[in-house]
Structure 1
Amino acid sequence: MTFTTADLCDKHSSAADFQIAEPIFKAFGSTRCFSGQISTVKVFEDNVLIRELLEKKVSHRILVIDGGGSLHCALLGENLANTAYQNGWQGIIIYGCIRDSDVINQLPIGIRALHTYPLKSHKKGPGERDNTCVFAGVHFKTDHYLYADNDGIIVSQNPLT
């Protein structure tokens, strides 16, 4: 599907379930325009649950990670980003940091994150899956639809055309 978030805003912004994320994210990965249904995970400075989700084969999914906005470690690096791509994930939105950005920028996947940070995360395993994540002025819910390009990120309960 070809789209721009600007066109989607022009067509659908008056819909009750239409949300636009605040422009707080940096773009990573070589895919700048991506869309899919959301899966959510909440963690804090720990990426065990992220790995579990990204290791699953999916079709047309976006992983939304609520990392609490932490800027003290990376929740995703080149290995997990490559795993995500290999398993069919279209994109990842991270309310937190990534590392290995030079390598990630070569991978054909769309990633948005707050920033980069070279330190890896903890590996203890706490967190929550499939709960509503709220950040950047948006309520991200599992199975809702996300659209991202260079202009922004849009979330809708229903698919947009």
Structure 2
Amino acid sequence: MSNVGCRVYLKINRPGKELVEGFKGLPVANIADEMNRFSCVDARIKPFNHTPLLGTAFTVKGRIGDNLLLHKALELAQPGDVIIVDAQGDTVNAITGAIMMTTAQKQGLAGVVIDGAVRDAGELKELDMPVYAAGVTPKGPYKDGPGEINVPVSCGGVVVNPGDIVVGDEDGIVIINPQDAVVIMEKAKAKLAKEQAIFKTIQEGTPRDKSWIDKRLNSLNCEIIDDYYK
């Protein structure tokens, strides 16, 4: 009988490395635009350093304030994995700190995302591995369990499945289903190229067509009043 709430799945359908690497250098905002602004992790989950995040989701669902399953995940995760911890958004106890995260970096993990709190913020800033979390507290975790590994989890309001592609930068994190990845990637690359062309025209002082603004306001029957507010 399956022990729901205390299970560890050892296998993940990881996407190919080439597919994941295709998102390297693409701004999260461009990717999100091409996903109709969905699948973006909540803004309260922020980066603790400037290292870009890119890898494959290795999911952990833990009890509030407890990191037993994260310790187990560090034994199982492979280089290139991003450990995503569903700590239910609770920030009373830190789920991890510098020792565990330095271990993760040494093992070649691509990053760690905690929907909860961390501690040792100063040390995390110096890591070459990205760490994201919802808060900081010196209060440490418990190690009692239960929890699950490599099941669907919730992180910042987004459902994350094991094997999803995780991309993050200073704006935040977006989660991509590998089945949609090729189309999203190509659209995001086109979006980036378009924006780079816009930046070039701005630098050159070329006027941009902004007629769409008034067209939109007209469609809303917006009043344009040539007078002071009274």
Q: CA deviation at 1:30?
A: 4.3
Q: Which runs of 5+ in 2 are unaligned?
A: 1-23, 186-230
Which of residues 26, 29, 33 is equivalent to 1:6?
29
* Counterpart Cα distance in 2 of 1:119 and 1:111: 18
Question: Are 2:52 and 1:52 equivalent residues in the alignment?
Answer: no
Instruction: Write out per-residue CA displacement over residues 10-41 of structure 1, whole angstroms, 9 at most, x where no aligned residue.
Output: 4x3149xx61122111211341x111110111
Equivalence map 1:1-161=2 (5 Å): 1-10=24-33, 12-14=34-36, 19-31=39-51, 33-44=52-63, 45-56=65-76, 58-158=78-178, 159=181, 161=185
Q: CA deviation at 1:57?
A: 5.6
Are residues 137 and 125 of structure 1, via their aligned partners in 2, closer, same or farther at CA, if it must alter by over 3 Å? closer
- Stretches (4+) displaced over 2 A: none
* Counterpart Cα distance in 2 of 1:100 and 1:154: 25
Scaled by the length of structure 2, the TM-score of the pair is 0.64
Structure 2: which amino acid aligns with 1:13?
M
Contact 1:55 1:84 in 2 (8 A): no
Structure 2: which amino acid aligns with 1:82?
T
**Residue identity (%):** 26
Q: Which has the higher contact order (CA 8 A, sep 6+)?
A: 1
- SS class of match (1:7): helix
Contact 1:36 1:60 in 2 (8 A): yes
Q: Alignment length, in residue pairs?
A: 157
Contact 1:30 1:106 in 2 (8 A): no
Q: Which runs of 5+ in 1 are unaligned?
A: none
Structure with more strand by fraction: 1
Higher CA-based Rg: 2
